Amino acid sequence: MARSTPSNPRYSASQITTAVTTTVGMTLTLLMMGLLIVLAYLGSQWEKQLRQEARVQVFFQRELDADVLESARESLRTDPSVEIVTYLDAATASRSLEQELGESFVDFLGYIPLADVMDIQMKPDWSTTEELTLAVERMEQIPGVENVVWQKALLQQIEATLERVFWPLLGLAMVFLFAAIALINNTIRLTIYARRFIIKTMQLVGAHPQSIRAPFIRQGLVYGVLSGSLAFATINALLLAVQWNNASISVFFTPLILLILLGILLVLGVTLGGISTTIAVNRFLRKRLDTLH
């Protein structure tokens, strides 16, 4: 006689509901953690941009020997703190100023009153008050340099603002992080709780604890991968929506950065899902049967 095909589906409605609920809960939690990562990354990039606004201008001595001038320019270009240099010679600056004023002051004075100048954009790592002070002192020692001007007040204001907002934001991020971990742990624990009698039954018939844990851990890892992927897709959609209104954001999120973000979310999902599942299963393995109700 042919064996009858079971009428029940492979997965019951309650199991499907549990899987969907767990995935949604983990996705929302990883989404929150991912948004914190994105905000932290944007904050670091904006900080670099703000620091690079603190420019350095080097004024050279007038009527300087050409060889000395070229040596000074080369010393500035190769300085380890320098990112980008823009050189403006006195003659070009005088012609531009004469065009703006509409008259020749060089003919009146008989000489060019301006000096050659080099505008310097510093590297982000050197754009702090302490490091920039050392760099300026080094530049002032270069032969042929008359004066070095930099926006010390602006840089100090930027650093004071960053210091005021850093610790409150760090504290808020830590609160959200602990809340996210607790939510994932609670979601997984409730999922395992619904199957606690299956765990205990397997244990009573002599199944090894590792054999009992293995399918649940695999399931937790699958939840982690799926949730991490969904969280990344949601964050990517939000970034595209923001970039639609502010195209300048797109320069920060290169394909490599997005790939790193995906990797972080997948690792977080798999790690938290696996660890939370292991802890929850072990908890019910240690319980007595009469305490499971």
Bridge-based pairing of strands 56-60 and 117-122 is: antiparallel
Least confident of 47-51, 60-64, 80-84, 226-230: 47-51
Instruction: Name the residue with higher pLDDT: 190 or 168.
Output: 168
Residues of the chain with CATH 3.30.70.3040: 55-150
Instruction: Give residue 93's identity as a one-letter amino acid code.
Output: A
For 68, counting Cβ atoms within 10 Å of its Cβ (0-12 exposed, 13-18 middle, 19+ buried), the class is middle
CB 241 within 8 A of CB 227: no
Rounded mean pLDDT, 58-82: 85
Q: How many CB atoms lie within 10 A of CB 190?
A: 14
Give domain 55-150's CATH number out of 3.40.50.620, 3.30.70.3040, 3.40.640.10, 3.20.20.110. Answer: 3.30.70.3040
| % of the chain residues with pLDDT over 90 | 8
Residue range 220-261, pLDDT digits in tens: 888 889 999 999 999 999 988 888 877 777 778 888 999 999
Strand order in the sheet with 82-88: 82-88, 117-122, 56-60, 145-150
Structure token digits, residue 187: 């979601």
What do you get for the CA distance between the two ends of the chain, in Å? Answer: 42
235 closest CA partner among 257, 219, 204, 210: 257
At 117 the pLDDT is 83
Residue range 83-112, pLDDT digits in tens: 888 888 766 666 665 555 555 555 555 445
Distance CA 23, CA 228 (A): 9
Which residues face 147 on adjacent strands? 59
Q: Give the chain's mean pLDDT.
A: 78
User: Kind and range of the H or E element at 272?
Assistant: helix 255-286
Residue range 4-44, pLDDT digits in tens: 444 444 556 666 777 787 788 888 888 988 988 898 888 88
Q: Which residue has the tokens 């490599």?
A: 256
Structure token digits, residue 204: 């009573």
At 98 the pLDDT is 54
At 6 the pLDDT is 41
207-216, 226-235, 238-247, 283-292: range with highest mean pLDDT:
226-235
Q: What share of the chain is helix, strand, coil (3-state, %, to 5)?
A: 70, 10, 20
Q: What angle do CA 4, 7, 12 make, to 5 degrees?
A: 140
Distance CA 136, CA 147 (A): 10
Distance CA 293, CA 171 (A): 39
